[in-house]
C-alpha cells in the first residue's frame, strides 16, 4: 500500500469493511480501488468504506467511489460510506454529489445496522 494511505480490513459475515486512513489522491487511487474490490466475493452483500480517518480525498478518489458504487449495484451488492459530520471529506463528497447517491452514515455501527 502507498505511504499516503492504509486500508484496515474487517469481515462481518457477508459484509466487508475497509477503513481508509490517510490521503486518497491520483497517486494511489488505482491501488486503493483494486484493494477494495478484492474484499468482495460473490457471497458478499455489501462493502462499507469507512472514511473516518481519511484526511484528504481528491476528485480521483471521488470518481473511484462513484465507479465502485456502480459496479456493486450491477452485482446486486451495496456500497455504504462512513463519513463523520462536519469533516472536510464530507464537504467534498457533498459538493461532488456523492452524498445522496451513496448511502452514508456517521459510524460503522450505523452502517452495519442499516444493512441488517
Ranges of each domain in the chain: 5-115
d(CA 86, CA 29) in angstroms, rounded, equals: 24
Q: What are 61-109's pLDDT values in tens digits?
A: 999 999 999 999 999 999 999 999 989 999 999 999 998 899 999 999 9
5-115 belongs to which homologous superfamily?
STAS domain (3.30.750.24)
pLDDT the model gives residue 2: 58
User: What pTM did the predictor assign?
Assistant: 0.94
| Cα dihedral 62, 64, 67, 71 sign | negative
Q: What are 2-39's pLDDT values in tens digits?
A: 578 999 999 999 999 999 999 999 999 999 999 999 99
pLDDT the model gives residue 54: 96
Amino acid at each position: 500500500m502507498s505511504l499516503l494511505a492504509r486500508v484496515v480490513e474487517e469481515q462481518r459475515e457477508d459484509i466487508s469493511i475497509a477503513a481508509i486512513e490517510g490521503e486518497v489522491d491520483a497517486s494511489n487511487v488505482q491501488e486503493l480501488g483494486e484493494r477494495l474490490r478484492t474484499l468482495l466475493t460473490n457471497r458478499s452483500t455489501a462493502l462499507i468504506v469507512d472514511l473516518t480517518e481519511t484526511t484528504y480525498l481528491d476528485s480521483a478518489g471521488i470518481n473511484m467511489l462513484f465507479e465502485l458504487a456502480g459496479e456493486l449495484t450491477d452485482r446486486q451488492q451495496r456500497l455504504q460510506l462512513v463519513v463523520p459530520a462536519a469533516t472536510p471529506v464530507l464537504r467534498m463528497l457533498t459538493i461532488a454529489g456523492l452524498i445522496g447517491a451513496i448511502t452514508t452514515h456517521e459510524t460503522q455501527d450505523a452502517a452495519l445496522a442499516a444493512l441488517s
